[in-house]
Amino acid sequence: MTRARKASVYVALVLLAAVSVVPFLWMLATSVKHGQDIYNKVPTLLPLDKKTGEWAATLGNYEYVLGVGGLGSAFVNSVWVCAVLVPAKLLIDALAAYAFARIPFPGRDKLFVIMLGGMMVPAITLLVPRIHVTQSLGMFDSGWGLIVPNIASVLDIFLLRQFFLSLPAELEEAALIDGAGRMRIFWRVVLPLSKPVLAVVTITSFLFHWNDLVWPLLVTNDPELYTLPLALQQLVASPDGGRAYYIMAGATLAVLPVIAVLLVFQRRILQGIAFTGLKG
Amino acid sequence: MTAPVLERVAAGPGRRARRRPGPRRRDHLTGWLLIAPALAYFLVFLLYPALSALYYSFTDWNLRAEANWVGLANYADLLFDDVKYPHFWKSVSVTLQYTLIAVPLTLVSALVQALLLNAVRRGANLFRLLLFLPVVTAEAAVGAIWRWLYDPQYGLINTLLGLVGIPGQNWLNTPELVIPALAFIAAWQCGISMIIYLAGLKGVPATIQEAAVIDGAGPWQRFWRVTFPMLRPTTFYLLVTGVIAALQVFGLVYVIFSGNGRSVTGGPEQSGLTYVLHLYLFAFRYDAMGAACAMSFILLVFIMIVTALQFRFVRQEAA
């Protein structure tokens, strides 16, 4: 490639990356500005005083949204939901995937196909009656309602099963002949060999549930139960919705943990997407 | 259409394992026990809701009274009674327009990003990370950020446009601009498609590219004659999944049009009233659950038809 072409490729990449990233920088900048300083006809990425042009950053917006805005308790709720849901779901999915991959029992493969078929129904079709089921089980507007109706994922079972099938069966057979039980093999042989796929499933599942707005929106009424995305949406819908400095502080709180996860696990996440072609 | 494929996937290498000698009976029990929690989830939160949604779509189900069987009335009213459901066709048209703009825009922007990333070595990982950032962001945050970016008076977009002399627009309050504004956000979030295109590009053999160079093909020709045709399966996959997702767009619109009572109508003159937002309003605001279930099945059938047509189109192209 000629030097000029190479340079133009980089210029294009820098421009596209700017389009991608500047909204986040703008969000961050707005979130630490004083109210009067954001209404400025001259855009500035730095928190400067509108009149004097001096440095004028504040954390007051965060204080407000975490307290009065209700995002503090919502943050804690989101952490709780993810801390319970993500491991529980991983365990349930991995157990089922292992059985579907390795333990022969009558009707197993037919059942698996039926479950896969269920994956093709659009989520929205299930939403209304799923809320109804949650209500009938007495879990509506409760912490359980945020967790139990999401406690397994057919897609994750499929991914885990495909990976388990790719492991050499000889290892497990040797253990079986040595008299190890199925569960022992699962814990001691299969899971340690499956760290890459377990990581991908855990990370995508965390991202999905941390970001999920729709299910908490439908299943909760009590503001005490709001998760972070829902609390943020409620803040947008409140009279504070016009106060961009508050809203951007709230958005930053929702985005930062996810960016941290992306920075730490970027290789696994990107590989996972290329591998599955799907998110969440 | 998909069942034989799934059956083959399901059978897979597992078939061989079945003949392996072992403690059979205990295996049966262990197997069922291991899948029991997932199976319970599947029955209670997937299969039953799917079947009951179908049943309720033939009833006048709401939260105030017992559900009565009404046959096809919900479907007929939705499709033909524009007094009872005045915005049904509006929501269909909004969703189709959104899909027709957002999906191609997303694919083109993903492909351009992937081609550029594929052409560089140094810094590729950093650029890939930055371009991917918008996808992992919660839609509540995306909606909040873009409401502020699109702000008519102090939003960054109008400010930047003003610097180059283009008059600012009231993006989210002008009916003609709402769908392009939403589609632009979708293209901004094209990172997943970009990663999949990138994986597809890695699968284009270098030898073919080199052969084309030797034959004197320029970069433009190489793209249209070699790269793009080799990416067809990827493009097709992204097109099908992209259309399915775009037809169900909801969370982002919900956040964008939150507040000031606007969420009830879905933007100025219902210009942002997507199909699923409309469905949501009928289920949870107007307490017409039966009609909402019917709406969800109309969408399901529509998605199946569109997907089948896309498959058919591709097969004809290939023949």
pLDDT, averaged across chain B: 87
Asked if A142 and A269 sit in the same domain, the reply is yes
Residues of chain B with Cβ-Cβ distance to A43 below 8 Å are: 156, 159-160
Could you tell me the CA-to-CA distances from A99 to A92, A157, B5, B273 in Å, in that order? Answer: 11, 10, 21, 44
CB A221 within 8 A of CB A228: no
Q: Which residue of A has its CA nearest to B50?
A: A126
What distance in Å separates the CA atoms of residue B3 and residue B9, rounded to the nearest whole number? Answer: 10
Asked if A20 and A112 sit in the same domain, the reply is no
pLDDT (average), residues B144-158: 92
The DSSP secondary structure of B42-59, one letter per residue, reads: HIIIIIHHHHHHHHHTTB
Residues of chain A with Cβ-Cβ distance to B244 below 8 Å are: 122
Asked if A199 and A118 sit in the same domain, the reply is yes
Query: pTM here?
Result: 0.89
Q: Which residues, 6 or more positions from B279, have their beta carbon under 8 angstroms from its beta carbon?
A: A124, B292, B295, B296, B299
The partner residue sitting opposite B154, judged by closest CB among A38, A92, A96, is A38
A7: distance to nearest CA of chain B, Å? 10
Is A205 an 8 Å CB contact of chain B?
Answer: no
CB A197 within 8 A of CB A159: yes
Q: Could you give the count of Cα atoms lying within 13 Å of B59 in the half-sphere of its Cβ?
A: 15
Q: Could you give the count of Cα atoms lying within 13 Å of B41 in the half-sphere of its Cβ?
A: 21
Asked if A52 and A79 sit in the same domain, the reply is no
The partner residue sitting opposite A108, judged by closest CB among B31, B53, B151, is B31
Q: Enter the tokens of residue B74.
A: 């919900």
What digits encode the pLDDT tens for the residues A65-82?
999 989 999 999 999 999
**A182:B129 CB<8 A:** no
The partner residue sitting opposite B195, judged by closest CB among A118, A228, A273, is A273
Last residue of a domain, one of A58, A82, A107: A58
Range of the domain at A196: 67-276
B316: distance to nearest CA of chain A, Å? 24
Is B3 an 8 Å CB contact of chain A?
Answer: yes
pLDDT of residue A196: 87
Is B160 an 8 Å CB contact of chain A?
Answer: yes
Residues of chain A with Cβ-Cβ distance to B20 below 8 Å are: 104, 169, 173
Tell me whether residue B119 is exposed, middle or buried, using C-beta atoms within 10 angstroms of its C-beta: 0 to 12, 13 to 18, 19 or more.
Answer: middle
pLDDT, averaged across chain A: 90
**A106:B46 CB<8 A:** no
The DSSP secondary structure of A104-148, one letter per residue, reads: --TTHHHHHHHHHHHTTS-HHHHHHHHHHHHHHTT-TTSHHHHHG
Asked if A43 and A94 sit in the same domain, the reply is no
CB B53 within 8 A of CB B293: yes
Asked if A46 and A167 sit in the same domain, the reply is no
Residue B3 reports pLDDT greater than 70: no
Asked if A184 and A73 sit in the same domain, the reply is yes
Is A171 an 8 Å CB contact of chain B?
Answer: no
Query: How far separated are the first and last CA of chain B, in Å rounded?
Result: 19
Determine which of A6, A128, A270 to mutate to test the interface with B (most B C-beta atoms within 10 Å): A128
What digits encode the pLDDT tens for the residues A207-229?
999 999 999 999 999 999 999 99
Asked if A185 and A241 sit in the same domain, the reply is yes
Last residue of a domain, one of A16, A35, A58: A58
A262: distance to nearest CA of chain B, Å? 8
CATH, residue A222: 1.10.3720.10
pLDDT band for position A24 (cuts 50, 70, 90): very high
A60: distance to nearest CA of chain B, Å? 19
Residues of chain A with Cβ-Cβ distance to B52 below 8 Å are: 129, 132-133
What digits encode the pLDDT tens for the residues B242-270?
999 999 999 999 999 887 544 456 888 88
**A-proximal residues of B, 90-119, CB under 8 Å:** 112-113, 116-117, 119
pLDDT of residue B264: 54
DSSP label at residue B115: H
Asked if A130 and A233 sit in the same domain, the reply is yes
**A121:B42 CB<8 A:** no
Q: What is the three-state SS of B206-255?
A: HHHHHHHHHCCCCHHHHHHHHHHHHCHHHHHHHHHHHHHHHHCCCHHHHH
What digits encode the pLDDT tens for the residues B24-57?
677 888 999 999 999 999 999 999 999 999 999 9
The partner residue sitting opposite A118, judged by closest CB among B12, B42, B260, is B42
Is A251 an 8 Å CB contact of chain B?
Answer: yes
Is B216 an 8 Å CB contact of chain A?
Answer: no
Output B219 or A109, whichever has higher pLDDT.
A109
Is B68 an 8 Å CB contact of chain A?
Answer: no
Asked if A119 and A77 sit in the same domain, the reply is yes
For the domain made up of B88-287, the CATH class stated in words is: mainly alpha
Asked if A117 and A235 sit in the same domain, the reply is yes
CB A35 within 8 A of CB A243: yes
CB A92 within 8 A of CB A171: no
Asked if A126 and A186 sit in the same domain, the reply is yes
The amino acid sitting at A246 is: Y
Q: Which residue of A has its CA nearest to B160?
A: A43
**Listed residue (B196, B17, B43) closest to B111, CA to CA:** B196
B230: distance to nearest CA of chain A, Å? 17
What distance in Å separates the CA atoms of residue A18 and residue A6, rounded to the nearest whole number? Answer: 18
